[in-house]
Amino acid sequence: MSDSEILMRVEHLVKHFPVMRSRYLLFSYQAGAVKAVDDISFTLRRGETLGLVGESGCGKSTTGRAILQLHKPTSGHVFFEGTDLVGLKKEQMRRMRRKMQLIFQDPYASLNPRMTVQEIIGEPLLVHQIAPEKEIEERVKSLLKLVGLNPAFAKRYPHEFSGGQRQRIGVARALALQPSLIVCDEPISALDVSIQAQVVNLLEDLQKEFNLTYLFIAHDLSMIRHISNRVAVMYLGVIVELTGRSELYKNPLHPYTQALLSAVPVPDPTVEEKRHRIILEGDVPSPVNPPSGCRFRTRCPLAKEICAEQRPEFREVGPDHWVACHLV
């Protein structure tokens, strides 16, 4: 694949958060690290939606933030249109950030309650000096129209809106700078089912219109299947499987992906009757002290000796189908 089709290339990204202890309340030292993201690599192609899915604490949000340099990566590289974002100076990064935006999970916490919608959506335009101040009002109005809100609402405050409407405001703010990449960090998990569909349809329409690239983070496998072109499955800080959407759901190779897919309920009683569930035992281990070798081996029904000894390589086993498992 030529480089022009690749928007972002993430190489061996690592993000550890130090765990600090102190002795006699004075001398603090690093006692360990939460290995939130531990050596992951993937690419984002222009105009695609890459779904990033996994259970809570698997490092999917940290990945989203680390590639935007909102968490400074511990090591690794993030190439955005050929430029390595890791190690960029603050001012350089600020200029790059115009092209990459974030939509947050919680539409209540991610909008400043003391700012009007006009100020919230207009702020990125001001900060990046995209538009002269007198034009901003017009720009905000057209953005509101774009996300399906009444432009007359510009003078209102966030608390006057419902959850779904607030999420639309968050989308408008992300779109203000005409970015090429939007990281959607669980944008619909806080919303009711009937409202989720509204927001997902909006995101799909906007993608078509502006050729946006999405990194769509979610724990809902049905929604990920619906919106993504390719899907990456994370477990305890690593990507265990990455492939095209239909391939992943038709032919999951990693035992974790298989268990995860079988655990998702299907809203159809006749299908549910016939389904065979793989029930995983136990809980996800702590990322402070992850298992040796393969991270999934403690819950894996197929684990062998080698799984404890060696970390499986993330390798391409079929066309565009990447898996990290010794047994595949």
Partner 1 sequence: MANILTVEGLETQFKTQDGTVHAVNGVSFVLKEGETLGIVGESGCGKSVTMMSMMRLIPMPPGKVVAGLALFQGRDLLSMSDAEVRSVRGSQITFIFQDPMTSFNPVLTIGRQLAEPAEIHLNMTKKQAYDRAAEMLALVGIPKPKDRLDDFPHQFSGGMRQRAMIAMSLVCTPQILIADEPTTALDVTIQAQIVELVKGLRDKLGMAIIWITHDLGIIAGLADRVGVMYAGYIIEEAAVKDLYREPAHPYTIGLLGSLPRLDETSNRRLTSIDGLPPVLMAKPTYCPFAPRCRYAYERCWKENPALVTIDTNHRTACWIDTKTGRPR
Residues that bind partner 1 (CB under 8 A): 55-56, 162, 164, 192-198, 200-201, 204, 219, 221-223, 225-227, 249, 259-273, 275, 277, 279-280, 283-284
Q: Which is nearer to partner 1, 5 or 192 (CB)?
A: 192
Q: Which is nearer to partner 1, 53 or 67 (CB)?
A: 53
Q: Which is nearer to partner 1, 131 or 244 (CB)?
A: 244
Q: Which is nearer to partner 1, 129 or 194 (CB)?
A: 194
Q: List, edge to edge, every strand of the sheet that includes 181-185.
A: 100-103, 181-185, 213-218, 49-53, 230-235, 238-244, 321-323, 315-318
Alpha-carbon distance of 246 to 252, in angstroms, equals 10
Alpha-carbon distance of 86 to 67, in angstroms, equals 9
Q: Which is nearer to partner 1, 199 or 212 (CB)?
A: 199
Alpha-carbon distance of 314 to 310, in angstroms, equals 12
Whether the CB-CB separation of 11 and 79 falls below 8 Å is answered with yes
Smallest separation, CB 123 to partner 1 (Å): 27
Smallest separation, CB 35 to partner 1 (Å): 19
Q: Which is nearer to partner 1, 12 or 277 (CB)?
A: 277
Task: Please give the backbone phi and psi of residue 259, each rounded to the nearest 5 degrees, phi first.
Answer: -65, -40
Q: Give the HSE-up count for residue 80: Cα atoms under 13 Å, Cβ half-sphere.
A: 22
Other C-beta atoms closer than 10 Å to the C-beta of 147 total 22
Other C-beta atoms closer than 10 Å to the C-beta of 113 total 9
Smallest separation, CB 140 to partner 1 (Å): 23
Smallest separation, CB 126 to partner 1 (Å): 31
Q: Give the HSE-up count for residue 63: Cα atoms under 13 Å, Cβ half-sphere.
A: 37
Smallest separation, CB 169 to partner 1 (Å): 15
Smallest separation, CB 99 to partner 1 (Å): 27
